[in-house]
Amino acid sequence: MNAIEVDSLTKIYKKFTAVDNITFNVNEGEIFAFLGPNGAGKTTSLKILTTILQPTSGNIRVNGYDVLHKKNDVRKSIGVIFQSNSLDEKLTAYENMEYHAVLYRLPKKEIKGRVNKLLENVELLDRKDDLIKTFSGGMKRRIEIARGLIHTPQVLFLDEPTLGLDAHTRAFMWEYIRNLKENNNLTVFLTTHNLDEAEKIADRIAIIDKGKIQTIGTFEQIKEITGVDTLEQAFLKLTGHEIRR
């Protein structure tokens, strides 16, 4: 079964076409990466797949549920780590995690242990009672990663997850996600600017530019199609410019 099915998705903001008739599927248990320059339409696509933005047209199913008509079923089965800040600055680290745990129906007696464990994993357990507004950018990111892993979804959406993250947390995150993939058949949809990471982590990659999917396939397939040796060269060839961070 396909964990994600996207058929002719288009999103037009006012007059600007941010996502232009894209079609792709993601298999269950697959790690799928969206690679593209700034403004390519990655975040826009991800917001539509996660039900918080209305598409202009297209059919989208996540875990078999239509994102327009079965919003709540989609939401129950996914986890999302957003690109831009999504923490409440006026709550503490622990309270932000607790808020998430309650909304995702973790049994009450498991919440404390689970939250503390994840805070420990991102090495912020000693800061758990500090307000988020006193955290550095990277520390906030670590909290968001930890929070996104509190519940175990069937499909995990990650929007530039490693942006601003230190090497240690990055290693923890990928290790954790690989484990989930192997043991729970987790599906991952991620967007990234990091070519090495896409190459190392993703089973398949879609290169997207100006709202269109330029190519899609495994790393090997993409190299073959474009006739180059590295993902970087393939990217350059397809989008005509350097990756912008």
Interface contacts to Mg ion, rule CB under 5 A: 42-43, 83
45 binds another protein (CB under 8 A): no
82 binds another protein (CB under 8 A): yes
Query: Nearer to another protein by C-beta: 15 or 105?
Result: 105
Q: How many residues bind another protein (CB under 8 A)?
A: 28
With CB under 5 to 8 Å by kind, the binding choice for 13 among ligand ATP, Mg ion, another protein, none is ligand ATP
**Cβ of residue 80: shortest distance to Mg ion, in angstroms?**
13
Binding flags for another protein, 92-131, as an x/- string (CB under 8 A): ---x--xxx-xxxx--------------------------
**Cβ of residue 231: shortest distance to another protein, in angstroms?**
30
**Cβ of residue 32: shortest distance to Mg ion, in angstroms?**
16
What does the alpha-carbon distance between residue 195 and residue 51 come to, in Å, rounded to a whole number? 27
With CB under 5 to 8 Å by kind, the binding choice for 50 among ligand ATP, Mg ion, another protein, none is another protein
Query: Nearer to another protein by C-beta: 125 or 131?
Result: 131
Query: Nearer to ligand ATP by C-beta: 38 or 136?
Result: 38
209 binds another protein (CB under 8 A): no
Instruction: Give me the DSSP letters along the chain.
Output: -EEEEEEEEEEEETTEEEEEEEEEEEETT-EEEEE--TTSSHHHHHHHHTTSS--SEEEEEETTEETTT-HHHHHHHEEEE-SS--S-TTSBHHHHHHHHHHHTT--HHHHHHHHHHHHHHTT-GGGTTSBGGGS-HHHHHHHHHHHHTSS--SEEEEESTTTT--HHHHHHHHHHHHHHHHHH--EEEEEES-HHHHHHH-SEEEEEETTEEEEEE-HHHHHHHHT-SSHHHHHHHHHSSPPP-
Applying CB under 8 A, the residues found at the interface with another protein are 47, 50-54, 72, 75-76, 78, 80, 82, 84-91, 95, 98-100, 102-105
